C-alpha cells in the first residue's frame, strides 16, 4: 500500500491537486472524495479553456507579425486567472477610484456580425431649438438591444454573450457634451456631460433606437455620441482590429428659441451629474468598505430584458480599470491549476 506522501506526489505529478491544500488529518476515503470534488469545483480552471497564446510575449524569434516598436505582451500560463489578486476588485460596482476586474471578455461575434451604428438625428450641423424636447435616434446593426443588468450590483460581473444569431446581447447609451464650437480641437472632459441616457429598450425591433431629451438643452454647440455596451455594461468586443467603429458621434448646435429662459436647463446645470438619471450608484470607497458593501448588497441578477428605468452607467467613471503592469513579465496563477 502506498504511503500518503507517495500518493500526494503521484497526484501532484498528474496535475490533479488544485489550489486548496490537502488535509492530512482526514482518512484516505475522505481524501479521495475531496479530490473528486476539487476536480469538479467551478473555481478550477478547466484545461480546455487555457489559451496557449497567453504564455507568449508575441516577440519570440520567428513569430508572425513582429514589427519594430511593438510592445511585448504580458504572459500567464493560466489565463491570468489571478491577475487581480491583492487589488481592489470591481466586484459589480462602479468605483471611481479605480479597480481590477477579473471577469473574462466572453463570446466575440464573427466578422459578419460586427456592430455598426449611425446617429440619424440630429444630423451634423443641425440647429435644434433651445429648451425644447427632441429625440436623439441611432440606427444599429447586429446589436440585440434592450438587455442590461443592475448597474449598482452587477457592473462588469459577467462576460459578453451572443444570441442565437451570433449578435452581441446588450444595449446602447447616448451621451451629449458641450464642446463650445463646431471646430473645437480640445477633447471634452469625460466626467462632464450635458445629457446621458441608457436606451434600455429594443427600439423598433429593426435596430432603430431613440433617447428623448426632455426639456431640451440650453444654447450651445454639442457632440452626441453612442456608447454601445454588452449586457453587463462593458464596451463591446469585436473579432478583428481592422474594422469600422461600432459607435458614432455627431456635432450639432442648439440655438435660442421662444422657450429659452433665464432659469438653468435641467439638462446642463454646469455639466454636472445632478439632475441626470441615476445610472447606478458609484463609489470611491476603500477596498475593505467596497468589498463589505458588495457582499451586503449583491443579489443574483438574471440580466433579463428590461422595459423601463435607467440602465446604470454614469459618465463620471474616472478609472474603471486597475492600473497597468509592466509588460513582458511571466505571471503564474496562484492557487489554481488546470484539470
Closest CA to 290 of 139, 7, 84, 120: 84
Written as nine digits, the cell of 224 is 452626441
pLDDT, tens digit (0-9, with 9 covering 90-100), for 290-319: 555 555 544 443 333 333 344 444 433 333
What the block records as the C-alpha cell of 306 is: 428590461
The predicted pLDDT at position 129 comes to: 98
Task: Sort strands 116-121 and 134-141 into parallel, antiparallel or unpaired.
Answer: antiparallel
Kindly list the distances between the CA atom of residue 125 and the CA atoms of 136, 223, 224, 254, 257, in Å, as whole numbers in the listed order. Answer: 14, 10, 12, 10, 17
Bridge-based pairing of strands 195-199 and 168-178 is antiparallel
C-alpha cell at 339: 484539470
Helix axes 28-39, 4-13, angle to 10 degrees: 10
Domains of the chain by start residue, with CATH: 4-44 (no CATH), 94-297 (2.60.40.2550)
Q: Kindly give, in sequence order, each residue whose CB lies less than 8 Å from that of residue 216, ignoring residues fewer than 6 positions away.
A: 128, 129, 130, 131, 132, 133, 134, 254, 259, 265, 267
What pLDDT does 289 receive? 58
Per-residue pLDDT tens digits for 21-71 = 444 455 655 555 565 556 567 788 999 999 999 999 999 999 999 999 999
Q: What is the pLDDT of residue 335?
A: 42
| Residues lower than pLDDT 50 in the chain | 6-24, 274-276, 297-339
Q: Which residue has the cell 484545461?
A: 47
pLDDT at 313: 44
User: What is the rounded distance in angstroms from the CA atom of residue 253 to the CA atom of residue 103?
Assistant: 41
Whether pTM exceeds 0.85: no
Query: What per-residue confidence (pLDDT) applies to 292?
Result: 56
Amino acid at each position: 500500500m502506498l504511503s500518503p506522501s507517495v500518493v500526494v506526489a503521484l497526484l501532484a505529478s498528474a496535475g490533479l491537486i488544485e489550489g486548496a491544500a490537502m488535509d492530512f488529518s482526514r482518512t484516505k476515503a475522505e481524501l479521495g472524495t475531496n479530490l473528486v470534488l476539487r476536480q469538479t469545483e467551478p473555481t478550477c480552471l478547466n484545461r480546455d479553456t487555457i489559451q496557449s497564446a497567453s504564455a507568449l510575449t508575441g516577440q519570440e524569434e520567428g513569430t508572425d507579425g513582429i514589427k519594430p516598436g511593438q510592445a511585448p505582451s504580458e504572459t500567464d500560463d493560466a489565463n491570468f486567472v489571478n491577475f487581480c489578486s491583492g487589488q481592489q476588485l470591481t466586484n459589480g460596482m462602479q468605483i471611481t477610484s479605480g479597480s481590477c476586474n477579473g471577469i473574462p471578455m466572453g463570446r466575440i461575434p464573427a466578422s459578419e456580425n460586427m456592430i455598426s451604428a449611425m446617429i440619424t438625428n440630429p444630423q451634423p450641423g443641425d440647429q435644434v431649438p433651445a429648451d425644447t424636447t427632441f429625440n436623439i435616434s441611432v440606427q444599429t446593426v447586429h446589436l440585440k438591444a434592450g438587455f442590461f443588468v443592475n448597474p449598482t450590483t452587477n457592473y462588469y460581473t459577467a462576460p459578453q454573450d451572443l444570441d442565437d444569431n451570433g449578435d452581441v446581447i446588450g444595449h446602447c447609451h447616448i451621451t451629449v457634451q458641450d464642446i463650445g464650437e463646431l471646430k473645437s480641437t480640445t477633447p471634452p472632459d469625460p466626467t462632464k456631460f450635458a445629457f446621458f441616457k441608457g436606451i434600455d429598450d429594443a427600439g423598433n425591433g429593426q435596430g432603430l433606437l431613440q433617447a428623448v431629451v426632455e426639456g431640451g438643452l440650453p444654447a450651445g454647440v454639442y457632440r452626441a455620441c453612442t456608447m454601445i455596451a454588452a449586457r453587463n455594461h462593458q464596451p463591446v468586443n469585436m473579432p478583428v482590429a481592422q474594422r469600422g467603429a461600432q459607435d458614432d458621434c455627431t456635432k450639432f448646435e442648439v440655438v435660442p428659441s421662444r422657450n429659452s429662459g433665464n432659469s438653468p436647463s435641467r439638462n446642463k446645470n454646469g455639466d454636472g451629474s445632478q439632475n441626470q438619471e441615476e445610472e447606478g450608484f458609484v463609489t470611491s470607497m476603500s477596498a475593505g468598505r467596497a468589498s463589505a458593501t458588495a457582499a451586503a448588497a449583491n443579489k443574483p441578477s438574471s440580466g433579463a430584458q428590461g422595459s423601463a428605468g435607467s440602465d446604470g452607467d454614469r459618465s463620471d467613471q474616472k478609472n474603471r480599470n486597475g492600473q497597468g503592469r509592466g509588460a513582458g513579465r511571466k505571471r503564474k496563477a496562484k492557487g489554481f491549476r488546470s484539470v
